Structure 1
Amino acid sequence: MRAPGSPSGTSSTMLGIGLMCLAVMSFAITDATAKWLSGHINVAMVVWARYVIHFLLALMVFNPWTVPGILRTRKPLLQLGRSALLFGCTALNFSALQFLQLDQTVSIMFSAPFFVALFAGPLLGEWVGARHWVAISFGFAGILLVAQPGAGGIHPAALLSLAASVCYALYSIITRMLANHDPSATTLFYSSLVGSIAASIPLPFLWETPSEPLVYGAMLELGAVAGVGHMLLIVAHRHAPAATLAPYLYVQIVAMVGLGWLLFAQVPSAWTVAGAAVVVASGIYLLLNERRERAARTLDATIGGE
């Protein structure tokens, strides 16, 4: 086992951080592509391309022949529920992207850690303390700064982004619940399989034949980049602890702002910048506090076992 401060351990951690940054940049490219596609085809087709192409690519690596027993799950209802939540998150987020800037959607989506903290009590028995509630309250204040409700703020589609954030929070909690029951390959396989089936059901009624070859290319790129992003995320967690990687999720905000400016000439408003800063600060506080509490629990367990 590598010592935490050893050169090899440090190199592995840095590799994990680098892969995490690449993963979240992939997710930013996915959202930017989805926004561009929504101006050429309907959202149902965009969601379909994201899931089906991702599934076909993942099938080359994770399938019942290369990974025997991949379909075997101890918690089928949780697997289906988790997959449905991820699909709902994608569909809601892509729908919001039709009307909102990239920086707005990503700022609202990063309210997910606050919902995780709220739901972790009743679902996982991990109740938050007073300091957590203060951080959560500040985080939601940041969301209000981004959305500016009742003040001639952004499009009502901001509610879709908020709903997507709730779905993602519940998805994250169920992922933690499944970690002790099913291998990650099984969980990843079900996510893409269920999403592909759900996205394909309405397709015969909503199909629009693209008139531009570039649209087909963007559809392929959407699924491929989304799939690569998820693979990078998995590999990153093999090289570094989740608590170390979590703050680097916020690189996605920087990437989304940059892509919004480059591709759509969208510059964040002062309200969005202020709100995003509050959201990021609150989220990082929650992550760091959780890391300190986990370290304290580990120390107590170690001392108690001596």
Structure 2
Amino acid sequence: MPMSDNLRGAGFMVIAMTAFTLGDACMKGVAAQMPLYQAVTLRGLVTLPLLVLIAQFSGGLDLRATLRAGRTVWLRVLGEVASTITFFIALVQMPLAVLSSILQALPLAVTAGAALFLGERVGWRRVAAICVGFLGVLLIVRPGPDGINVYALVALASVAFVVLRDLATRRLPASVPSTTMAFLSALSVTVVGAVLSLAEPWQPVPQSGYVLLPLAGVFVVTGYIFIIRVMRVGEVSFTTPFRYTSLLVALVLGWVFFGEWPDGITLLGAAIVVASGLFTLLREARLRRARVA
């Protein structure tokens, strides 16, 4: 019996989220042994040739068409670079699962951003879900004896920059190839990482780095490939909730490789965020079907 498009799309989403989280774990491991921005630069030197290779199989790079989109492209690049740098800063200092828990607020934040900046209509039920979800985020980043963890605020800044990236993506014209946009974003992250790396002397790559850095690049590109495939099969309302598998993967990786496990309040906050996000996604899907009908 052939697998339905929805099931294939869900499987692709799980693979993509697992690959992205594995790549994050590799970067967390290697950044503990060498300067962060050196690691970001070296990962980029692995990622860029792979993206060029993928582009050759999908029609090549079209930088001219991409740059013609003007300010929207550069807003997306800004969001990509800033979100990546702030994410890695938080990643080095925070447990992987806690950081992943904060990032689960992204669908809620994008919905809120689309309502505020793009004029999309959001009913009271989704507004309520967004508010409840952000209360869950407050449980995750709650102040400790020394106040709010500054790196939790950096993680929230990363979420804000991802919202900028995603909203700019919605404004990109259809003529902009997704592979070329990904290459330009990865190139920008690598260049910024290289510039920032000049602030501290480069160190010899540790032995583990020769394994972790290429793996990080391969995992990022794998995630990108399967995210593209998700877009081409299955219904968005069915496949998008499987994004939350990244939290489960982060919990396992954090426990197995870094000896990290979030406390009960953090897990409760993460559960609230995920539940609110699922409600918002299901509500959007129901309204979309009603409009089509």
TM normalised by structure 2 equals 0.92
1:209 Cα offset (Å) = 2.3
Shift, 1:19, TM fit = 1.2
Say whether residues 1:203 and 2:197 are aligned partners.
yes
1:114-263 equivalences in 2 (<5 Å): 114-149=108-143, 155-178=149-172, 180-263=174-257
Determine helix, strand or coil for the equivalent of 1:61. Answer: helix
Counterpart position of 1:62: 55
1:86 alignment counterpart: 80
CA distance in 1, matches of 2:73, 2:187: 11
Q: Aligned to 2:122, what secondary structure does the other structure show? A: coil
Equivalent residues of 2:61, 2:179 under 8 A apart: no
**Residues of 2 paired with 1:218 and 1:182: CA distance?**
32
1:76 paired residue number: 70
Taking only the aligned residue pairs, the percentage that are identical comes to 29
User: Contact 2:75/2:164 (CA < 8 Å) preserved in 1?
Assistant: no
State which drifts further: 188-197 or 270-279.
Answer: 188-197
Cα gap change, 1:45 to 1:253, in 2 (>3 Å): same
CA contact (8 A) 1:25 1:252 kept: yes
Alignment partner, residue 15 of structure 1: 8
Q: Distance in 1 between matches of 2:148 and 2:26?
A: 21
Question: 2:92 maps to what in 1?
Answer: 98
Residue 34 of structure 2 corresponds to which residue in structure 1? 41
* 1:167-212 per-position Cα deviation (integer Å, ceiling 9, x unaligned): 1112111112215342322322222222222222233443422352
Q: Give the root-mean-square deviation of aligned CA atoms.
A: 2.2
Q: Deviations over 1:199-231 (max 9, x none)?
A: 222334434223522112211111111111111
Cα-to-partner distance string for 1:66-117 (whole Å, 9 max, x where unaligned): 5263542241321122122112111111111122111110111111222212
Distance 1:201 1:191 in 2: 15
Contact 2:48 2:186 in 1 (8 A): yes
Contact 1:110–1:165 at 8 Å: present in 2 too?
no
The code of the aligned residue for 2:111 comes to A
Higher Cα Rg: structure 1 or 2? 1
Distance 2:180 2:70 in 1: 11
- Separation of aligned partners in 1, 2:175 and 2:205: 46
User: Relative to 1, partners in 2 of residues 1:271 and 1:152: Cα closer, same or farther, differing over 3 Å?
Assistant: farther
Structure 1: gaps (5+ residues) = 1-6, 300-306
How many pairs were matched up?
292
Give the whole-Å Cα distance in 2 for the aligned partners of 1:206 and 1:232.
36
CA 1:69–1:148: 2 relative to 1, 3 Å: closer
Does the 8 A contact of 2:30 with 2:208 survive in 1?
A: no
Farther off after superposition, 136-145 or 188-197 = 188-197
Distance, in Å, in 2 between the alignment partners of 1:59 and 1:90 is: 20
Q: Distance in 1 between matches of 2:169 and 2:110?
A: 12
1:302 matched to which residue of 2? none
| Residues in 2 aligned to 1:153 and 1:268: alpha-carbon distance in whole angstroms | 18
1:276 is paired with a residue whose SS is: helix
Q: Which whole-Å CA distance do the structure 2 matches of 1:117 and 1:65 have between them?
A: 31
Moved more, 79-88 or 171-180: 171-180
Q: Distance in 1 between matches of 2:97 and 2:39?
A: 20
- Greater RCO (Cα-Cα under 8 Å, separation 6 or more): 2
Contact persistence 1:210–1:216 (CA under 8 A): no
Superposition deviation, residue 161 in structure 1: 0.5
Letter of the aligned partner of 1:203 in structure 2?
Answer: S
Unmatched 5+ stretches in structure 2: none
Normalising by structure 1, report the TM-score: 0.88
Q: How far is the alpha carbon of 1:154 from its aligned partner?
A: 6.5
